[in-house]
Each structure stands twice: as structure tokens, then as C-alpha cells.
Amino acid sequence: MVAAQVVPPRLGYRLATRVASAMAKREATMFTTVRENLRHVLPHAGAEELSRLAEEAIAHAGRTYYDMFRFSDEDYRRGRVPLRVDVEEWRAVREVLADDRGTVLVGPHMSNFDMAARWIVAQGFTMQGLSLPQPNTGTRVLNRLRRRSGIEMTPLDVSALRMAVKRLRQGGIVLTGVDRPVSLMEEPVLFFDAPARLPTGHVRLALQTCSRIVVGCCLLESAVDMSSQGFARTLGKKAALCRPDELDCCYRIQYAPPLEMEEVGGREESVRHNVMRVLEIIERMIRQAPSQWLMFVPVWDT
């Protein structure tokens, strides 16, 4: 946090790359975990490619933290943050966020997802964020920063869920990640064609409160290759991605069309059905830039 205020970007990004290289050389736990997760995303990739992508992911994480800490709330309000949003995508999402029904905003842990959430708050919206039930020291520090930015962070427990239900029924916004295992009590669902114990709470909240789900993600892309007229309209189209140490880059928030929950059979069948609908979008988002998927805990049972 201190370094982000005093170190210039070129040096900050280079430092993140050096740290990632050192972790890869000594096969640090974070590095091997990321590599194993990427093996499911890219089942045909060789060991060398997976190692390279895992190292890039750690370097990219360093860059995202550096960028997150160096921009203030005033920078967001005045448009000084290197971040872009497709006009048509944002118009559709803004209408959903602003109406009288609740919205569950979800996404993968991709690139600078904190920057994306802070940008939404800077547009005049308030939201409750559901975080890990027992956050470690680093997560508690980040949660304090998120609260300072206007996101009401609540570690996941009964009280937080009641607060979320009340907020959604009043037309508010609840934010949570959906690609990280949280509880061993969750029934496995298919994620990249393998069973993973991923959360289902976002769908349960949406079904209980008749809310919609909006899936979004954040990517770092080349500012040179991005047209001022708008961005790719389809999730499958590849964008020109930046290396972790490049300066001429810009973060882009990407949204999928809002999802209405579908009732099929009983309650649990409906939950599972809608969880899979969300995960299909999440998979497409991650495939766009696997090395920007910053998942540092095992997703699949090994």
C-alpha cells in the first residue's frame, strides 16, 4: 500500500513480475495452486505453458494490487482511473441496478475486480459485499479499504444473509464472488467439466427475493487496441491482452445480460439449474484471459 503511493508504475509493475518469477522458481504453494487450477481451464496445455501462465497470473495479481492502492476515490469520481466500460452493456446493467427490484452482482476473481466494484460505487450506487466467513488478516485489511470506498462488507454468516435478503427486497445490490469454494457442505457442481464445491448462495438469494443476477468481470487489455466506439459484444471474442509489466493498458469491465431466475422442478433443482447458468458465463469469461484468473486456493478436490 505504501509502495503504490511512492513507486512509479513502471517500477511497480516490474517488481510484481520479479516477485512472481521468484515464486515460480521455488515452486511456492500459491504458484502450484494456480497452475493446478489452470490445468482444468486449459486441459490440453502442456506443463511448460501452465507454469508460464501461473507465473503471469501472480505477476498480474501484483499489478492489480498496486493499481488498486494507488488510485483514490476522488480519482474514480473524476474519471482518472484507466478503466473503460462498453456503453450499451453499462446502460442495460444500470437500468437493472436502478429499478425497484433487487440485483445480485456476481463474478469471477479476475484481474482488478475490486476496481470494477469501486467504479460502480462511484456511479452513485451502494451495495453490500458478502466476503469469506473467517477472513484472514490480509482480507480484513482489504475489506476495510472496500468499506472506505462505500461497499458495506459483511463476512458471511446468518446476520449478513438476513441483511442481504432485506436489501434485495428493498431493491438494493448484493455483491459476491462465485468461483471460490467456501463450504464443504455445498454439493459439487460441474465447473470446467469437473466437480467443484462452489457457492450456491447467490442463486438462493435471488430465488428467495425474486431478484436478478448480473454477471460481470474485469480484464486488463491493450489501450491501443481498444476502440473508443465500444468493445467486443460477445464473450467469445478474444481481446488484445497486456503483459503484467506493460504501461499502455486499460482495465475493462464486461457485463453479461442480466439473468432472470428460472424455476424448474423443486427448489434444489432450480438452484442447481441457475447455478449452472451462471457458471457457464463465468467459464467463458475466464477462458478469455486464463492468466488473469486470480484464484489462489484449490477449486477442485485433489
Please list the ranges in the chain whose pLDDT falls under 50.
Answer: 226-238
Tell me the per-residue pLDDT of 183-206, one tens digit each, with 9 for 90 and over.
888 899 999 999 999 999 999 999
When divided into structural domains, the chain yields a total of: 2
Residue 298 lies in a domain: no
DSSP sequence for 191-247: ETTEEE----HHHHHHHHHT-EEEEEEEEEEESSSS-TT---SSTTS---BPPTT-S
Residues 120 and 60 grouped into a single domain: no
Residue 253 to residue 239: CA distance in whole angstroms: 13
> For residues 31 and 58, is the Cβ–Cβ distance under 8 A?
yes
pLDDT for res 251: 94
Q: How far is the C-alpha of 59 from the C-alpha of 15, rounded, in Å?
A: 9
Q: Are residues 148 and 40 in the same domain?
A: no
Residue 12 lies in a domain: yes
User: And the C-alpha cell for 159?
Assistant: 446476520
Domain around 7: 2-70
Residue 194 counted as domain residue: yes
User: Distance between CA atoms of 97 and 214, rounded to whole angstroms?
Assistant: 9
Query: Contact, 179 vs 295, CB < 8 A?
Result: yes
3-state secondary structure of 129: strand
DSSP codes of every residue in 146-187: HHHTTEEEEESSHHHHHHHHHHHHTT-EEEEE-SS---TTSP
Residues 192 and 261 in one domain: yes
Asked if residue 170 and residue 40 are part of one domain, the reply reads no
Task: Give helix 47-70 / helix 113-122 axis angle, nearest 10°.
Answer: 30
> 141 and 214: one domain?
yes
Kindly state whether residues 42 and 93 are assigned to the same domain.
no
CB distance 256 to 215 below 8 Å:
yes
Query: Is residue 77 in some structural domain?
Result: no
